């Protein structure tokens, strides 16, 4: 079955520093991958998605992610973090059934001054 692992439960970065959130997937074929962000008590907002083509995907709010098939990874990056980026980040892969997303358990980002 398709699954996603986010190895880091919590990450703390200083404002202005670079960020990389890790995501590893388990999937036999070409995966359809997503990154979502969730602010406390809110719904999920799509940051970016990968279906095919260029392995470096640009998203909203200055985020990007790189699909690496050889490493089964889809890591999220941002060159310079802002305090407003503090939130929970979820990686997800579309299931074989085509009707659900399989989510990782999330990474909580804390941004310090």
Partner 1 sequence: DGGITQSPKYLFRKEGQNVTLSCEQNLNHDAMYWYRQDPGQGLRLIYYSQIVNDFQKGDIAEGYSVSREKKESFPLTVTSAQKNPTAFYLCASSVRGGQQETQYFGPGTRLLVL
- The site for partner 1 (CB under 8 A) is made up of 9, 32, 34, 36, 41-46, 49, 51, 90, 92, 94-96, 98-101, 103-106
Nearer to partner 1, 98 or 113 (CB): 98
Triad 23, 94, 2: Cα angle to 5°:
65
d(CA 100, CA 60): 23
DSSP class of residue 106?
Answer: -
Least distance CB 24 / partner 1 (angstroms): 14
Least distance CB 43 / partner 1 (angstroms): 4
Least distance CB 44 / partner 1 (angstroms): 4
Buried b (16+ CB within 10 A) or exposed e, 11-47: bebeeeeebebbbbbebeeebbbbbbbeeeeeebeeb
Least distance CB 68 / partner 1 (angstroms): 20
């Amino acid at each position: 079955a398709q699954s996603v692992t986010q190895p880091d439960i919590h990450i703390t970065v200083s404002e202005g520093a670079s960020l990389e959130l890790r995501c590893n997937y388990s999937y036999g074929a070409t995966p359809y991958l997503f990154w979502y962000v969730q602010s406390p008590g809110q719904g999920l907002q799509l940051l970016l998605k990968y279906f095919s083509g260029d392995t470096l995907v640009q998203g909203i709010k200055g985020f990007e992610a790189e699909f690496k098939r050889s490493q089964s990874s889809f890591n999220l990056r941002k060159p310079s973090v802002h305090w407003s980026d503090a939130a929970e980040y979820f990686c997800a892969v579309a299931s074989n059934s085509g009707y659900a997303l399989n989510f990782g358990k999330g990474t909580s980002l804390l941004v310090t001054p």
